[in-house]
Chain A
Amino acid sequence: MGKSVYLIENLRFSYKENHFELSVEKLEIEPGTIISMLGPNGSGKTTFLLLLGLIFPPSQGQIMVYGENPWTSAEKVLERRRELVLVPYPSYMFKGSVFDNLCFGLKIRGVPEKEWKSRVGEALEMVDLSGFEEVLASELSSGQAQRLALARALVIKPRVLLFDEPTASIDSNRVSTIEGLITEVNQKQGATIIFSTHNFSQGFRLADQVIYLSNGKITEYGHENYFSGKAETDGKISWLEPKKGVKIFFPGVYQGRVTCAIKPNQIELLPYEQKKMISGPNLFFGRVTRLEMADNDIALIRVSGQLNFRVNLRIEELAMKKVSLSREILVRFAPEVVEVIK
């Protein structure tokens, strides 16, 4: 494996206008990986993407890109910026046609004009917009504009693609196309892809690694279950209500906004028939909506119901726990396994 795409150390960034601060102690991103960035609104996802896209420099610390700090000269920043492309959300279309928009990145990189047509056609095909070359970009719907923004980045064939909420305005029947595209670009072009999303399922499904941001800090880095909300306490035990009437209990005294993390292998699945025999905190019911076999004899299960959970189970336990697709199931975990992130 070559040099890390990013090596971030003691990064700090704050805006002059408010008290928000993004801080990342250490993070290394290997080439060819897909990273998803999850977290509530205002947690710093977009700011982090802008820093990764070298749009502005960090206030402190450094971001090494392919082994060097680009912020030592304007030329280096520009050189590195041309290897990585950020697709902001909401996307902006330049005045002119779809073709003009797609050519912008090629033109500024000095790509020969004879290549433009074929590369534009290829990129448009990837996002299901073939034949739109002459259409005015201002006439596109928001979903089409977002797909065009993706194509405008793809046409450049960068080494790193940074997407801010790539499927936010895309209609539901095309989301899978974009998701497929992310995987395809990663596999065929070997591009490193970092994207932010509010869709936990999407974040975990597509990514090799997941970054969870909360209040400007990376709180976790892995496949976890996260729930955020306002914690309440009776002085002994605390709980939060991510959904009305559904409480997650955890030990300790907490008040105010918190995020809870529960590891998928610490969640127990029980046959739904045992519902009347079991009681206690953190018992939920749902239905198995996804069942995938991982390489290491582990089944990756998604349970959707009162709350949505990701659960890891050994394959041989599937039959014992009566776990199969679409089947109703009970989910339980001890309050002690709930990790609270303030």
Chain B
Amino acid sequence: MSSDLYATPEHEAFRETVRKFTEEQMRPRARDFDAAGRIDKSLFKQMGDLGMLGLRYDPAYGGSGLDWSFSAVMHEELGRSDNAGATLAISVHTEMATPSLAQFGSDDLKRAYLAPAIAGDTVSAIAVTEPDAGSDVAGIKTRAVRDGSDWVIDGSKIYITNAANADWLCLLAVTDPDAGYGGFSQIIVPTDTPGVRYDLLDKIGNWGSDTGQFYFEGVRVPVANTIGEVGRGFQQQMMQFQDERLVACITALSAMELLWDETKKWTDERVLFGKPLSKMQNTQFKMAELWVQMQAARELNLSAVRRLVDGKDATTLITAAKVFTVGVCMRVASECMQLHGGYGYMKESMAGRAFVDTRLGGIGGGSDETMLQYLAKQLGF
């Protein structure tokens, strides 16, 4: 099914570039990123030089003006970095914090923030979730009050990926508390603005990404930093979430395909009761079943990519993929950990790390429950 999506020699050549980059620049340093709690920021510059950070964006700002099929190729390969946190950090920059700016931002704003982000000179983060509002986005409290030509921002954002590496945030704030869904705006906030500070958070997985809580106290940024129209932030953010969810499905699945391969090798080498684990029917049934599940998830992901490439709305399929694919990934991680036995419970084991890394999939970018509720609505309930 994927052959028609990735049909051109350019797809194949780009895949080769990203695969080599992942194998040479990321995998050998995967555990170093874990130890540091973040990826080496210079990787963004390397990726920018290779054209990886603005695939779908306007060439006027340094992008390549391509479609989602190239993004899918890139994230399939980055997902094999053996570091879910590192993959997450990159995808936040490319698919979660910059799409709204690219689609709705003014020319000045795009020249000031999008062009350096595409070049890899700056790193971005998305700041929506708050201590009391996650999947319930409309419940956020961070307030931006207009004062002349500035916004003055007060509030807090939590579980922000790229907290330490980010140069600017795509922040969702309440700009008119009486306007309902028309009372939110997306605002670019440089992280070195006076009044912005953060603390890093200690997660159970995704150790290679720097996740933090931001605090905003009297933070002044120009109203010109508003992405799109004032009051359209909620709607724009909902659109931006679609890219976020799809990329989460793609990277998690390719990481699990790698884990499945590694687990198969392990079961060939691991001898139990006089024969390799791979020769036991229980192992074969489990691995075969996981393979089927992964194929189904892959096809669902690709069907969403295909709709985007065709210029159609893919919200329903992306929502379905978000529920199904991350569920498959959690199951693959859990079963592969089981097949690894005691070693699977070690932090150094790919299976053990996958067990904690994939668990985020059912929570981040919209919880399973939120997705199912939304999907049911789409299906006419």
Are A and B a genuine interacting pair, yes or no? no
Q: Chain A: residues with CB nearer than 8 A to chain B?
A: none
Q: Chain B: residues with CB nearer than 8 A to chain A?
A: none
